[in-house]
Amino acid sequence: MKEFALIFRLKDIADFQPSPEQMQERMNWLGSIAAQNKLVDKGNTLLPATGSAKTVKPDNVVTDGPYTEIKEFISGYIVVRAESIDEAVAMAKGNPIFKIGGNIEVREVLNRG
């Protein structure tokens, strides 16, 4: 299996302050990934500058590339284990960030030996 970073982006800093209900929804999503033993907790990873990357946007829109709009900011990331980038994208599609206009970039992680 490969490892992929799911990088969370928001357009407005105000969206970074979730309500208790939104926080619970995020925790449920994260818990479902952990229950499948696909959540990776590692500190020695690098995101390559080039290579395979996709961004998942609201309404199940998937685009190629790790391209950030200037108005967006990264609110966090997790690393997951998946067979392919398509499986990692499928995991990302279940995140509630899309309800507040955010998006998720999915990138393969290179591990330093």
Q: 95, 112, 70: which is closest to 6 by C-alpha?
A: 95
pLDDT in tens, the chain (113 residues): 899 999 888 877 665 677 889 889 988 999 999 999 999 965 445 555 556 678 888 888 888 776 655 566 777 889 999 999 999 999 999 999 888 888 999 999 887 65
- Domains identified in the chain and CATH numbers: 2-111 (3.30.70.1060)
